[in-house]
Amino acid sequence: MNRTTWHRAALDRVPGGRDGRRMLLVSVIDKTGTGLWAGCTALYFTYVSGLGLGQVGLLMTVAGGVGIAGAPLAGRLADRFPLVHVIVGAQLMRGVALLALLTTDNFLLLTLYSALGALPDRAGSVLIKLYAARIAGPDRVRYQAIQRTTVNIGWSIGGLGAAAALATGSPRAYGVLLVGNVLTYLVIAALTLRCTEPPAPSRTVATSDDTPKDRPTSPWRDRTFLAYTATEAALFLDDTILQVAVPLWIVHATAAPVGLAPLLLVLNTVLVVLFQVPLSRFGATAQAARSLLVPLSGLFVVGTLALAASAAGGRTLAITALAVAVIALTFAEIIHATASWELSVALAPAEAQGAYLGVHGLAQSTQRFAGPLLVTGVMSAGPLAWPLLGIALVGAGAAQHRVIRDRVTPPAQPSLSVPTVTVSEY
């Protein structure tokens, strides 16, 4: 097989056809731009806008709190308006809000613009998940796995670009990175407009054996889904542990060198790129996704025990234990992402898919808002607090396993022995 043929075969394996591939390109460009800006946001407010440390912290806290509403709002809009148009609107709103930061140094206005930008930013993952569910149908988990891989590649490219720009030491670099991110929003909006509107949700979800029947059409009245979402907020904590806790823990509690922190983040990215797609096949159905909650709990235990052990000895033990912790928590991240993609869609009725996924998006938004405070509290309590957090996460996984049991358990077999006929047999 020559290179061109191999490339074409690889593209053909992406669910969703041409529109699916185009949306993957959108994700790469989007996260490349975000990678340019995300790492220097706080520095921009400090060195360019002239805000104090307390003001920067308050601004980012307020923006994060307002952003929580972005996910359910986007889900509701996606049920009422063409999904492609909603995605484009969110992309353009992000660009306008970001560009507005260049117009002022006023703290209140900067906070307002940051909050307005946080709404569509938090909505982005929900809208892409909804697009994947509609365009890829039963292959939605594989599509999301490929999409997440491309996201990590984009983050890496953007991060390297930001590091190169900031290495110049010029304050103008921050403005250049901001404008660079804005330009990526214009590019992805143009690409998204070229995507066709995906099929109606009822057609897409009906191809799956996991389609819920007779469910409430409002997620706010669905107690099972609300309980599921609450447990999701806890299980998403692996993100904050890896991104926030591990670097701080290295500095304040272990004998490991400070330079280990970025290397561990690179390790996390490489593992996600290598294993997200291959492992996605273990969560292709709701029953399989529910089963993943068992190994997920074990990985949380290993990861938190390793973090505790990293503070118990010298440099070698610290480096080894931290590497084990990051590997375990990264695989927890991969497995939970796979399970979460399938379950959040499978538990939603077709006619309210957007609203349900919007409410599910509250779990990740809430974790991003409250997670840093929780993990810093754990670190302040000392090494023994890490295993206690691990036990709490096991409890969250067990609660979710039980809560969704009736929704994902296959129905009892009919008394008459009638052979099952699948769509592919017609």
Instruction: From 191, 196, 198, select the one nearest 88 (Cα to Cα).
Output: 191
Which of 136 and 206 is assigned the larger pLDDT? 136
| Residue pair 381/393 in contact by the 8 Å Cβ criterion | no
Rounded to two decimals, the pTM is: 0.76
Q: Does 422 have pLDDT greater than 80?
A: no
- Per-residue pLDDT at 3: 52
The residue type of 292 is: L
Q: Does 68 have pLDDT greater than 70?
A: yes
Lowest mean pLDDT among 18-32, 86-100, 213-227, 270-284: 213-227
- Per-residue pLDDT at 399: 96
- Per-residue pLDDT at 341: 86
pLDDT for 156-180, tens place per residue?
888 788 878 877 778 888 888 899 9
Mean pLDDT of the chain: 84
Q: How confident is the model at residue 390 (pLDDT cuts 50, 70, 90)?
A: very high
Alpha helices in 39-106 (DSSP H): 41-47, 53-67, 70-80, 83-100
Mean pLDDT of 125-144: 82
- Per-residue pLDDT at 293: 95
Q: Does 321 have pLDDT greater than 60?
A: yes
pLDDT for 44-56, tens place per residue?
888 888 888 788 8
Q: What are phi and psi of 121, to 5 degrees?
A: -65, -45
Question: What is the distance of C-alpha 82 from the center of its chain?
Answer: 23
The rounded distance, in Å, linking the Cα atoms of 384 and 419 is 55
Q: How many CB atoms lie within 10 A of CB 416?
A: 5
Lowest mean pLDDT among 66-70, 157-161, 205-209, 324-328: 205-209
Q: How confident is the model at residue 114 (pLDDT cuts 50, 70, 90)?
A: very high
- Per-residue pLDDT at 11: 55
Please state the length of the chain.
426
* Cα–Cα separations (whole angstroms), residue 127 to 87, 208, 280, 306, 370: 6, 20, 20, 36, 23
State what percent of residues in the chain have pLDDT above 90.
36
Mean pLDDT of 328-347: 92
- Per-residue pLDDT at 204: 41
Q: Does 389 have pLDDT greater than 90?
A: yes
pLDDT for 76-104, tens place per residue?
898 888 999 999 999 999 999 999 999 99
Lowest mean pLDDT among 96-110, 126-140, 400-414: 400-414
Mean pLDDT of 185-208: 74
